[in-house]
């Protein structure tokens, strides 16, 4: 089968979109989409009739026609019978691959929330289905469109940081309260912490770094090693807030508080990829790009360039923002920030997805990117379970 890398969308001026899943995340993406031109939200499917009602109100309030709606366990199957150009999937993690595969089999391009897959077998299933059906499978990795990640990508491409040798990235997010809730994500996301021990959510940190390093074009992931700390944060928090007798107090969480994975690329670069959603801390993606001429670190954003400014002192960023800001942020930043989805990156992501379809361009994030950024989940589990032995990355891309 032929590769889907670089294959453009069929040009489409008005994109007919169906949403599978309009809970908290799906409804947030729906709000961004109905604010864009050239899109028609044609159908909505969800298990919850209440979620559908809220989503329909969002569509109508934005001045769009009322979409077709389907509720219940088989609602997604009914949606896929319609004539749609794109299906957007925002559902629990373990359903991402089955819904994406079904959408491609039904002749639709599909955009899937992160991670696109949770097992190695699912990754291969997505690649093979995309290549066979000639439908794109895009992962909705919003962090690739955040302000600093897009700016640093331009800096690196211009050689400002020299030859890149090392990067760091993470998902540090205190989710203890949400994980213990008996609603929404608490109903399914905690299950992964019970059943798995590795990096459960790699793509927010890894996606932008992979784009900056040219993974898939100029370089490739080679192998990783991974280890997890012991678990303490989530169970200790649970025991402090839940009453005696709550069944959740009997749960054992396999996922360590901190997972640290080291990835080596074919060109000899290293990437430190971490995950911690159990301990009290401010949100942070630990974004760092280090090269032979300088370094950028975020949270807060800082830049150091060899021979520029004071020795061993961070540089003022304003002049670099003016020079290296991505045109998407220059042109859309004010509107994106007003809309507010994760600081504006959600709107930029949806706008750009629609733009690539409307103009007949290849997707920014294709099926190979999607699986390469998701597969450190299961690969890290393998390494952790085997005393941090190296695990090779699969060769998803056709030579």
Per-residue model confidence as pLDDT tens digits over 177-210: 999 999 989 989 999 999 999 999 999 999 999 9
User: Would you state the pLDDT for residue 398?
Assistant: 82
Q: Do 184 and 275 lie in a common domain?
A: yes
Instruction: Identify the domain containing residue 270 by its residue range.
Output: 144-327+365-392
Phi, psi of 291 (to 5 degrees): -135, 180
Q: Do 103 and 76 lie in a common domain?
A: yes
* Tally of structural domains, the chain: 2
Instruction: List the structure tokens of 353.
Output: 């997805």
Task: Answer whether residue 1 shows pLDDT above 90.
Answer: no
In CATH, what number is assigned to the domain containing residue 110? Answer: 3.40.50.720
The answer for 268, left when phi > 0, alpha when psi is -120 to 50, beta otherwise, is: left
Instruction: List the structure tokens of 191.
Output: 């299950």
Q: Do 369 and 242 lie in a common domain?
A: yes
333 assigned to some structural domain: no
- The structure's pTM equals 0.98
pLDDT grade for 137, boundaries at 50, 70 and 90 = very high
- A 10 A CB-CB count for 119 gives 15
Distance CA 330, CA 342 (A): 17
Q: Do 149 and 52 lie in a common domain?
A: no
In CATH, what number is assigned to the domain containing residue 310? Answer: 3.30.360.10
Per-residue model confidence as pLDDT tens digits over 275-322: 999 999 999 999 999 999 999 999 999 999 999 999 999 999 999 999
Per-residue model confidence as pLDDT tens digits over 352-370: 999 999 999 999 999 999 9
8 assigned to some structural domain: no
Q: Do 283 and 214 lie in a common domain?
A: yes
Q: Do 93 and 153 lie in a common domain?
A: no
């Amino acid at each position: 089968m032929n590769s889907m890398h670089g294959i453009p969308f069929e040009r489409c001026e008005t994109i007919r979109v169906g949403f599978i899943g309009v809970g908290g995340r799906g409804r947030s993406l729906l709000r961004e989409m109905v604010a864009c031109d050239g899109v028609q939200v044609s159908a909505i499917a969800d298990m919850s009739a209440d979620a559908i009602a809220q989503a329909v109100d969002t569509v109508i309030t934005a001045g769009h026609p009322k979409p077709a709606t389907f509720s219940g366990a088989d609602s997604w199957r009914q949606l896929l019978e319609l004539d749609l150009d794109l299906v957007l999937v925002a559902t629990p993690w373990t359903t991402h691959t089955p819904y994406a595969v079904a959408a491609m089999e039904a002749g639709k391009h599909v955009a899937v929330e992160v991670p696109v897959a949770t097992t190695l077998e699912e990754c291969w299933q997505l690649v093979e289905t995309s290549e066979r059906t000639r439908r794109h499978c895009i992962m909705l990795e919003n962090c690739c469109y955040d302000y600093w990640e897009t700016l640093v990508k331009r800096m690196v491409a211009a050689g400002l940081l020299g030859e890149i040798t090392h990067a760091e990235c993470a998902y540090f997010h205190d989710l203890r309260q949400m994980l213990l809730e008996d609603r929404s994500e608490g109903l399914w996301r905690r299950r992964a912490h019970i059943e798995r021990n590795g990096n459960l959510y790699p793509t927010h940190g890894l996606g932008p770094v992979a784009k900056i390093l040219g993974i898939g074009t100029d370089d490739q992931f080679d192998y990783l090693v991974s280890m997890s700390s012991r678990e303490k944060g989530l169970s200790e928090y649970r025991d402090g807030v839940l009453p005696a007798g709550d069944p959740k107090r009997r749960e054992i969480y396999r996922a360590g508080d901190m997972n640290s994975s080291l990835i080596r690329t074919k060109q000899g670069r290293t990437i430190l990829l971490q995950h911690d959603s159990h301990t009290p801390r401010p949100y942070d993606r630990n974004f760092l790009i280090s090269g032979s001429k300088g370094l950028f670190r975020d949270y807060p954003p800082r830049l150091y360039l060899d021979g520029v400014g004071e020795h061993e002192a961070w540089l003022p960023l304003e002049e670099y923002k003016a020079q290296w800001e991505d045109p998407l942020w220059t042109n859309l930043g004010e509107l994106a920030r007003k809309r507010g989805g994760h600081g504006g990156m959600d709107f930029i992501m949806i706008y750009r997805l629609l733009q690539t379809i409307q103009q007949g361009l290849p997707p920014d994030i294709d099926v190979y990117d999607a699986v390469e950024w998701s597969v450190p989940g299961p690969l890290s589990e393998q390494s952790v379970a085997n005393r941090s032995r190296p695990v090779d990355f699969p060769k998803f891309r056709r030579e």
